[in-house]
Amino acid sequence: MPDTCTIGDPSFTLDIEGAGFTSTCVINFAGQDEPTTFNAEEGTLSTGINMDVWHGADVVPVVIKTGSLTSNIVDFTFAAADAGTASASKRKSKRGG
């Protein structure tokens, strides 16, 4: 799983590797449950990250939920864009759909 990207990067698929994943697992990214795909052959989970909703540097929690159980938190970092980009200084505190 990448654990960082840079503001201005294109949208991408976040693939998460781990043990014990099932089709009932949900990726919770920045406090929101995301549409999650379980790849049984690879044993991975994935979701799309829409970069259009991120406008500045931020660190957000990522957890895997299965019913009432949650995994350990892993931080995902949105790094600031090149210092020449004015919008990089704005922090986005909520993730939109």
Residue range 12-33, pLDDT digits in tens? 999 999 999 999 999 999 999 9
Q: Which two tokens stand for residue 85?
A: 């980009």
Query: Where is 80: in which H helix or E strand?
Result: none
pTM over 0.85: no
Residue 5's closest CA among 41, 40, 54? 54
Q: Give, rounded to a whole angstrom, the gap between the first and last alpha carbons of the chain.
A: 21
CA 3 to centroid of chain Cα atoms: 8
pLDDT of residue 83: 63
Please give the class, per CATH, of domain 4-82: mainly beta
Bridge partner residues of 49 (DSSP): 12
pLDDT digits (tens, 9 = 90+) for 51-65: 999 999 999 999 999
Q: Which of residues 2 and 68 earns the better pLDDT score?
A: 68
In the chain, where the domains are located: 4-82
